[in-house]
């Protein structure tokens, strides 16, 4: 990372610190077909956030970023969108008191996971596997089948991820589509204009 990278992510760093955000997961989601409509992406992010919170019965906080495929001009996905999500950990209380639906999902994945949950001893791998099942199961229309096109990682280098997610910018100022203000917790037009000097309004709704 260089000086401009650090300047670009500083507002996000400050927001994360002020809000007390502690991200556990970094998720990358491609589309199974070309998606060039930004409204579609934003609505898909809204649905993804809603399904995760609903399933785990917790207001898990997230930041959403949009990126265009620009690496390979010969690719059929060149110029279309994909998504990155920073997500907080699933609260311990959720694992102590799983819902019936959550228990059913765990049993479908692995009976051993269900028993481990009863003893409050679910492995990190099992937790991530359940998250993958939830994301795919309730968002199948926007997520490709199989492992190709999706990636789930633990967050180790947050600054590096923030830089990566905001790298598509003009004069080191993120374009209006890069940070999804509609779905990212605690962000709105005012925050964006204040920190990045943009004057156009980016459509938002209540989180």
Do 50 and 107 form a contact (C-beta atoms < 8 A)?
no
CA 156/CA 151 separation, integer angstroms? 15
pLDDT at residue 33, rounded to an integer: 87
Q: Of the candidates 36, 66, 47, 39, which has an alpha carbon nearest to the alpha carbon of residue 135?
A: 47
Do 28 and 151 form a contact (C-beta atoms < 8 A)?
yes
- SS3 at position 160: helix
Looking at the 3D structure of the chain, how many domains does it have?
Answer: 1
E strands along 16-139, which residues?
Answer: 23-29, 62-68, 81-88
Residue bearing tokens 């001009």: 73
- 120 domain-assigned: no
Residue 161 has pLDDT above 90, yes or no: yes
Q: DSSP letter at 104?
A: H
The token pair at 117 is 């949950």
pLDDT at residue 100, rounded to an integer: 94
The residue range of the domain holding 163 is 3-89+152-196
- 111 domain-assigned: no
- 128 domain-assigned: no
The residue that leads in pLDDT, 173 or 195, is 195
Strands 150-154 and 169-170: unpaired
CA 63/CA 129 separation, integer angstroms? 21
Q: Of the candidates 176, 187, 198, which has an alpha carbon nearest to the alpha carbon of residue 39?
A: 176
Residue 17: partners with Cβ closer than 8 Å, 6 or more residues away: none
- For residue 62, the cross-strand partners are 87
How do residues 48-105 score in pLDDT, each as one tens digit?
999 999 999 999 999 999 998 888 888 888 888 999 999 999 999 999 999 999 999 9
- 108 domain-assigned: no
How do residues 23-41 score in pLDDT, each as one tens digit?
999 999 999 888 888 889 9
- 173 domain-assigned: yes
Do 15 and 186 form a contact (C-beta atoms < 8 A)?
yes
CA distances (Å), origin 106, targets 80, 140, 197: 34, 19, 46
- 101 domain-assigned: no
- 103 domain-assigned: no
């Amino acid at each position: 990372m260089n000086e401009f990278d650090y300047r670009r992510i500083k507002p996000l760093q400050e927001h994360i610190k002020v809000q007390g955000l502690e991200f556990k997961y970094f998720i990358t989601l491609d589309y199974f077909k070309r998606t060039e409509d930004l409204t579609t992406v934003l609505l898909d992010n809204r649905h993804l956030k809603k399904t995760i919170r609903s399933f785990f019965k917790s207001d898990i906080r997230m930041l959403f970023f949009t990126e265009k495929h620009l690496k390979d001009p010969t690719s059929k996905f060149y110029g279309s969108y994909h998504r990155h999500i920073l997500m907080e950990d699933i609260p311990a209380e959720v694992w102590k008191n799983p819902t019936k639906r959550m228990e059913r999902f765990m049993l479908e994945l692995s009976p051993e996971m269900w028993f481990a949950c009863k003893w409050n001893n679910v492995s990190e791998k099992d937790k991530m596997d359940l998250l993958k099942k939830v994301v795919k199961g309730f968002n199948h229309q926007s997520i490709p089948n199989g492992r190709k096109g999706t990636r789930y990682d633990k967050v180790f280098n947050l600054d590096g991820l923030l830089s990566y997610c905001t790298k598509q910018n003009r004069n080191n100022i993120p374009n209006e589509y890069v940070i999804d203000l509609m779905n990212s917790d605690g962000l709105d037009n005012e925050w964006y204009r204040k920190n990045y000097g943009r004057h156009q309004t980016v459509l938002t709704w209540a989180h």
